[in-house]
Amino acid sequence: MSFQEINIKDLQINPFQLIGNDWLLITAGQQDQINTMTASWGGLGIMWGENVATVYIRPQRYTKTFVDQEECFSLSFFNGYKKEMGYLGKVSGKDTDKIAEVGLTPIFIDGVPTFKEASCVFIVEKKYVDTIKPECFIDETLDEKWYPNKDHHFMYICKIKKIYTQDI
Ligand SMILES: Cc1cc2nc3c(=O)[nH]c(=O)nc-3n(C[C@H](O)[C@H](O)[C@H](O)COP(=O)(O)O)c2cc1C
C-alpha cells in the first residue's frame, strides 16, 4: 500500500462515472469500531469557498450513527470491487461483521478509517447536515417515488480536506 496525497486540482475523474457507476464507500469510526456502506448518490463541487463533497444517507443506515459521531469520515473509491460493494450496500453492519465477510482491510489515514484496497480516498470534514424535506419538492413525484417509507435522506455537505491515491 502506498497512498500518496494529491492536489485536488490534479484529480482526473468524471464524477458521474465515479459516483454513479463505480460507487463509493462511506466509512466512519474509531480504532475500536468502524462501519461502512456503499453509496451511489452524491456530488462534488464548491460551496462556501471550499471544495466539497455531498453525500445522502438515509436515517436507518447504521453508518449514519458513526458519521454523526465523527468530525471527519472517508469516501473511498475502488478499481472494481463491485461484488464487495454490492454486499456492503445490502447488509447492515448492525447485523454482521460485513467488512470481514467481504475481506476488505481497514486502515486509518489521518485518523480516519478507509481501506487498503481503495484506489482513491477523500478525507472529508462535516460542515452542514439537513434532511431532504417533503414540502420542498418542486417535483412531488420524486417524493412519492423515492420516499414511500418517509425515510428522507440526510444531506451532509463536507469539506474535502485531503485526497490520497494509489496505483492499484
Ligand atoms: C449501489 C448502492 C448504492 C447505494 N447508495 C446509497 C446512498 O447513496 N445512500 C444511502 O443511504 N444508502 C445507499 N445504499 C444502501 C446502503 O449502502 C445499505 O443500506 C447498507 O446496507 C447500509 O449499511 P449499514 O446499515 O451498515 O450502514 C446503496 C446501496 C447500493 C448497493
Testing ligand 1's pocket by substitution, the residue of 37, 63, 73, 158 carrying the most ligand atoms inside 8 A of its CB is 37
Burial group, residue 139, by CB count within 10 angstroms (0-12, 13-18, 19+): exposed
Report the pLDDT value the prediction gives residue 140, as an integer from 0 to 100: 97
| Half-sphere exposure in the Cβ direction for 97 (13 Å, CA) | 7
Closest to 114 measured CA to CA, from 18, 16, 23, 29: 29
Testing ligand 1's pocket by substitution, the residue of 18, 25, 38 carrying the most ligand atoms inside 8 A of its CB is 38
The owner of cell 471544495 is 51
Residues in the chain, pLDDT under 70: 1
Q: Give this prediction's pTM.
A: 0.98
Topology of domain 4-165, CATH: Pnp Oxidase; Chain A (2.30.110)
**Ligand 1 pocket, Cβ-based, cut-off 6 angstroms:** 23, 35, 37-41, 56-58, 61-63, 86, 89-94
